[in-house]
Amino acid sequence: MDLTPGQTIGQYRIVQKIGEGGMGAVYKADQPSIPRAVVIKVLGSAFAESPDARDRFRRELDMITRLEHPHILPVYDYGEVNDSPYIVMRFMTGGSLQDRLQGGAMTRSDGLRLLDQVALALDFAHDRGIVHRDLKPANILVDDADNAYLADFGLAKSISGTQDLTATGSTLGSPAYMSPEQARGEKLTRQSDIYAFSVLVYRMLSGRLPFEADTAWGFITAHLSEEPVPIRRYAPDLPPAVEAVLADGLAKDPLARPERATDLMASLRAGLTAGADVPASPSARAPTRATVTASTAGGRLISPVAASGARGSAVSRRAAPAWRLPALAAAGGALLLLVGGIAAVVLFVGGTSLLGDRPTSYPVGDEPRALLFDGSSLWVANFFDNSLTRLAVSDCGSTPDVCGQSLGTIEVDDLPVALAFDGDNLWVASSLEQTVSTVSPASGEVIDRYTLPHVPSAIAWDGESLWSANAIAGTVTKVASDGQILADIEVGKGPVAIAFDGTSLWVINQEGKSLVRIEPDGARVLETIALDSEPAAVALDGATLWIGLSDSGEVIQLDPADPTALRRIDLGSSPTALWFDGEQLWAAAPEAGEVYRIDPVSAEVVDTISIAGYPVSLLTASCGPNCRDLWTANQSGDSVSRLSIK
């Protein structure tokens, strides 16, 4: 719909239309009550036809407005006009980065300063679980003091699927800046934004794009199947090291890209300054098989030789390609539909399969991230719905008709990321507001809510207290049952998983590549074991530790009493969740869309289950007498899947 100058919506008076794009029309307006100039973006007509889409957009906007950062554009207000949502934002007099690039009046040093600011904004949002999805120069605005502000954060997700990808400037992402996984319609992560950011860096340094095409499909094909033009062809004054940095950022495999935008900028500045080859970005994860090496700072030795020692050798699964080009269908938009066409397949890999024929999927909330079984019900933390879904699972063996039915939904604090159970109540960790809440399974009500000192990434109950692993802060926090903060301990870089074995607490530091053992009562670090691959998950089998290595695509077994006794299982894809059910070890690799059943005695993969929807969490739950089911939370599928274990 079009608004006319002088028209009033809410407390705002339209001055003029200043733009229009895939997400809707943009107007300059006056706010007489302050007074000040503002920008009003009225979103597309697709919302007028879908109340559910408007509700989802409002929920996401509520979270985005709380992303308070010096380089993220503030959102002032929200409303609706003729059933079309609009958002009110700060009016930026300096235009957009797109305007600066087209005008050509910008020095390299000024461009790098703006890129540094954008990198800080991206890391801030990524650390809180929010992905931009449509990073491009037009979405970076500039103020009078030449400071950058990242706009339209996360809004593209709200209207994905309402427009055709073939339209330039589509809300599914702008083709010139689109990552390969976005072009394939796969799950987007922070590395997807890193790819788009790398395209932006390339253009800022050279004035050109790494891929040239005349159509949207031309760009998509190039992102999927072609190598970028070496930047020194356009800017021969740049050092060779800059090409290496951009090659990392533009890698087809998301896991080979830097994990943080600021890491990429640090490597870029080092390359520009040194004028010679520099190492890859600090958190870039090369897709090669890694070994485990010794700690040099007080940790114990894990010998690479032990990988082929008494406990068995590496079990090679497959050499999975880092990326693949799907067949392009003739019909427009079909590229997105080719992904996830198969719901699930169980592959037999020797021995006797213990699994049922096919998983069954059940809808839950928006982006389920965590699962918990309390002995009778399955609880699902829905990241973007700010809710918990309770599902009936305990009678699936005898009454399959009621299996997976929702028993209710509970609203919790924004962006719930982790769950724990203390025997009576659930604990819910929410990242945006840095809280943990207790929930009564009996009443379905939130009992208490406590503020944490840091953004939580994982939680565990040790029998008396709650522990929160805080990836951004590099600490673990001990929380009493009444919410009192008892300790906050530095453990290393990027603690992302935590587990309690009855005596010790084990913490996985992904960025720091280490395993830390903590004494819960004394709240002190007992030892640090250094790894040379990035751990992402940990499970306990009563005697040993199983650790999932995200960059090498392996699961390793570690004896805490003798860390040189080690076995490895090469999955060929990145395991980010592990679960031991008392008999079998289970591993989820969301990038591959697979779950593996591992025999802990032979250290072999005996079943592979292909599950659509990016399975990020898994557990087994009782479904009745002598009955067990495997459950997965499927982040991009907004669902959970159940597979019967015979």
- Look-up of token digits 């802990």: 600
β-pair type (562-570, 315-316): parallel
Amino acid present at 61:
L
Burial 149-183 (b: 16+ CB within 10 A, else e): bbbbbbbbbbbbebbebeeebbbbbbbbbbbbbbb
**How far is the first Cα of the chain from the last one, in angstroms, to the nearest whole number?**
57
Phi-psi map region of 286: left, alpha, beta (phi>0 left; psi -120 to 50 alpha) = beta
DSSP H helical segments within 132-176, as ranges? 155-158
Those residues with Cβ within 8 angstroms of residue 319's Cβ, 6 or more apart along the chain or in another chain: 572
DSSP state of 107: -
- Residue 179 and residue 173: Cα distance in Å, rounded? 9
d(CA 525, CA 514): 13
Q: 621 near 608, Cβ under 8 Å?
A: no
Contact 88/43 with Cβ under 8 angstroms?
A: no
Q: Which amino acid is at 213?
A: A
**Edge-to-edge strand list for the sheet holding 446-451:** 416-421, 426-430, 435-439, 446-451
What distance lies between CA 577 and its chain's CA centroid?
A: 13
Residue type, 611: I
Amino acid found at 170: S
Q: Which distant-in-sequence residues (6+ apart) come within 8 Å of 497 by Cβ?
A: 458, 469, 507, 508, 535, 536, 537, 538
Rounded Cα distance, 601 and 312, in Å: 10
Chain-centre distance of CA 133, in angstroms?
12
- Over 549-580, what HEC string results? ECCCCEEEEEECCEEEEEEEEECCCCCCEEEE
Give Cα separations from 471 to 131, 285, 298, 477, 548 (angstroms).
Answer: 17, 18, 22, 11, 17
Which tokens is 317 given? 């699964």
Contacts of 515 (CB under 8 A, 6+ apart): 506, 507, 508, 509, 528, 529, 531, 535, 538, 545, 547, 558
Q: What is the DSSP string of 352-383?
A: ---B-SS-EEEE-SSSEEEEEE-SSEEEEEET
Catalytic residues: 134
